[in-house]
Chain A
Amino acid sequence: MLEIERYSLPNGLSVCLNRDQTAPLVAVNLWYHVGSKDEVPGKTGFAHLFEHMLFSGSLHVGNNEHFRYIQSVGGNLNGSTFFDRTNYYETLPSHYLALALWLESDRMGWFVPALTQEKLDVQKNVVKEERRLRYDNAPYGTWLEELLALAYRHDFPYSWPTIGSMDDIEAATLDDVREFFLDWYGPQNAVLTIAGDFDFGEARELVEAYFAEIPGRQSPSRPSFDPARGEPDARKIIRANVHSPRLFRLYHLPPMGDAGWIGAEFLATLFASGKSSRLVRSLTLESRIAQDVGLFVLPTEVTGMLLLTSTPRDGVTLDELEDAIDEELRRVGDGISRDEERRVQSQLRVDHARQIESLESRADAIGLMQTFFGDPDLINLWPERYDALDADELVGLAQRIFSPGNRVTVGFEPEQKR
């Protein structure tokens, strides 16, 4: 049970404090409630490019100095961008808590005066290389991009990946950067989580000193997102320079936190976690049709996604692989045994315990609960939600999720025999 104290500053900043004195370390984590969902066609990739810019200095902190300050005291830090949120975090020796808060508050309050075209140009190039590295030059690298484009109508922003398109990255201007900052990077749109070794009184005082003077602003009201889906059971086969075919599927889910989303976490573990899980056992150990099979749920806010990946063994076609997968998924209609249910629940409990073991990932999980649900204590209640699942209802849920009309499919096929 994690004790979490939550409060807000008058400027709207939400603060979550979780004290744990196991080690003299502290994790500072800021979730800004903005991500690629807040982009529009023609400006894709911007939230992520912006994340890079936030490391390029602010009024009192030079370019790349944020990294130097944190690393020179033995801290680790980074940021990441996803559909609905962008996070910035550092874990450092606890007597340097003030340093982390100073750095985060400087870029929240005094980012714009330090902006230059030169910094933007460098980061555009860096991000283009990131796209080449992870998408364009990597085997199967564009799988998620292809899947999202099939899954959703092109004006719904989950239809493109956070990295965005090369052209859009290139087209970003300094005005875009300023505007995005003023729209989304005010205290009213952020959750600050501090987890680890600190004194409550002192932590509150430091948060007040560094963040309270930053004026709250109004974030733009979001459009009511219409997660309009693409064509049901849409498929695309891509010829690529790869040795093996590979299958990628997206199954639509309700948004994170919904009972159906929690149920999908259960199903992902039932079907594809460990040698005794159903798909792994039947496809890789018994029939040996697949080299690997994986299922995972993404933490998304507007609508949910369950992703499947699988590689056929040499000599097996994508069609044969899909038939075998669908047949095993259909078998869930025969029911889920009590024994299997217990195995999955135990695994989910351990996964949860592991997620809150390190301060860094714990602070991130608390930030998520506050940002998406306005309640950090959900972190403690989450495991109970797995225990509350009912086997019969899970069978019905699985049948709905895995029905052909609820999915889209991308397959990669080798271009030529090597």
Chain B
Amino acid sequence: MTGTTKSWRTTAPEPRTARPWDLPEISVVTLESGIRIVSASHGAAPIDAVRVVVRAGSDHDPEGLEGLAGMTASLLDEGAGGQSGADLDHQLGLLGASIDAGADWDSSQIHLDVLAENLDPAMTILRQVTCEPNFDPDDLERVREERITMIHQSLDDPAHVASRFFSRFVYGPGRYGTPAIGTEGSLRSIGRETLEEFHADYYVPANISVVAVGASAGERLHQATERAFAGWKPSTTGPAVSLQPGPVPSGFIHVIDRPGSVQSEIRVGHPGVSRRTEDYFPLLVMNGILGDAFNSRIMINLRERHGWTYGAQSSFLFRRHAGPFVVSTAVRNDVTAPAVSELLSEIGTMRNSQVSPEELEHAKSYIAGSFPSTVETAGGLAVQLQEVELYELPRDFLRTYRERIMEVTREDVERVARKYLDPDGSVIVIVGAGSELAEAVKQLGRPVRNYQLDGTPLEES
């Protein structure tokens, strides 16, 4: 490096030799009861992260009781072992700890974060919250009303409305077509017995993994977990579910009128593929090129070339069953129709044309290179280990992650683009000022359906 030629100023510097990096040692033990304990010592802060992962989420909600998994999980830390949620929270607070419980599509989870020195007493509370929730009828009523109000409030947010209608039009009557939180009607049908039944069916040792990662030694994390959950009697796990998307008419443009909107929220997409797909790594790379990095095709086109939006991205929402592929953006009203055209055209180009060696390498090195920072903290590594447990991924999944990304070829990317992208069959949802958009949207050449915000269809114009 020299200041005289300044060549070091005009070109990017070469890297030093990479320092070897590996994951910490990860122990996986299945106890006699069937509960799996995954533990590792990791992270720079004096904090332990313990996650109870139940392999049943909103996808296990029975028809008519949508929102059951979410309600069950959120009531766990409202009170357990005969103590109130506030009392438990106070005890946890004294320990420098907090517990959060909730459900997503694929799982129900209880998260404990705790100052490492107080791991043992906090684990006792974690066990109570997981195994002995009060399900107090009074708390149930309160949480029910809160969640119903949340459903009403969510209609205020155009981004939320767009995602909700998108799911409905992509999945129709299938479970993924109704929001995970449920509907006012389904929440009103949930009683204390339904919660207890769901808890008894799915919160059973054989259906649970506990991931414990943090400043404490791995052995200590394992032992504290084993001790806390000792004596939990095994029982049969409730029925598994299979979700089949119903036949849904595709190719429509659905316009949801939100009078006064100064932006249009746009969603374009269709059913995608399960998290367990063998094409997972090629899909990550393909989607990285299309719309998952700042320099992706979609972002450069809509934001940096046209200045139409603050952000635009595409994603495969990987779930146990085939979640959606969706492109999302928000643009100013007068460029709504051209933005939809550009998005469809980018999906089509991705599907039908070759990728350049530069963009392939860029996407691969971004995804592989950023992996270590996703597992930098205890909580970060816990998230990755939770996925391995939940989707029953191979034991070496995390250790070989970067190699598997780097092995993806141009042929792989082009193959999965052809297989999993369908611009013609895409559902298009626009939430915006319907009257301002009507003429331009018609020019897109697809059949248009119009709705009010609450989903009531509007007369054909």
Partner-B contacts on A (CB < 8 A): 20, 22-25, 60, 63-64, 67-69, 71-76, 91-99, 102, 106, 121-130, 132-133, 136-139, 197, 209, 213, 241-244, 274-276, 281, 285, 288, 291, 311, 313-314, 339, 342-344, 346-347, 349-350, 353-354, 356-359, 418
Contacts and interface: CB of A to CB of B under 8 A. Distances in A.
B45 A354 contact: yes
A91 B261 CA distance: 37
Given A137-B263, A354-B47, 5 more contacts: A64-B304, A71-B293, A93-B15, A102-B12, A125-B308
The 6 closest A-B pairs by CB, nearest first: A74-B369, A125-B307, A139-B156, A276-B90, A357-B45, A343-B93
B260 A358 contact: no
A313 B9 contact: no
B155 interface: yes
Q: Which residue, of B13, B90, B330, has the highest number of chain A Cβ atoms within 10 A? A: B13
A100 to B, nearest CB: 10
Given A99-B13, A129-B331, A358-B377, A347 B304 contact: no
Q: Which residue, of A63, A106, A314, has the highest number of chain B Cβ atoms within 10 A? A: A314
Interface string B88-116: 11101111111000000000000001010
A63 B380 CA distance: 32
A75 B370 contact: yes
Contacts of B94: 339, 342-343, 346
Contacts, number: 219
B365 interface: yes
Contact of B145 (A97, A274, A311, A313): A313
A129 B44 contact: no
Nearest to A105: B9
B303 interface: yes
Contact of B86 (A106, A122, A132, A275): A275
A150 to B, nearest CB: 23
A394 B440 CA distance: 60
Contacts of A67: 294-295
A63 B304 contact: yes
Interface string B293-308: 1110000100111111
Given A63-B304, A69-B12, A350-B96, A74 B365 contact: yes
B90 A346 contact: no
B19 A24 contact: yes
Contact of A276 (B78, B93, B156, B310): B93
A75 B12 CA distance: 15
In terms of DSSP, what is the predominant structure of the interface of chain B? mixed
A64 B153 CA distance: 38
A76 B113 CA distance: 25
Interface in B249-289: 260-263
Contacts of B332: 128-129, 132
B403 interface: no
B15 A95 contact: yes
Interface residues of B, number: 86
Nearest to A348: B96
Contact of A91 (B20, B145, B373): B373
Contact of B157 (A68, A122, A139, A343): A139
B373 A25 contact: yes
24 contacts: A68-B295, A71-B362, A72-B361, A72-B362, A98-B14, A127-B310, A132-B263, A132-B332, A133-B311, A133-B330, A136-B263, A137-B262, A138-B157, A209-B8, A241-B260, A275-B77, A288-B145, A343-B90, A346-B115, A347-B98, A349-B96, A350-B96, A354-B113, A358-B376
A96 B372 contact: no
Contacts of A72: 361-362, 365-366, 369
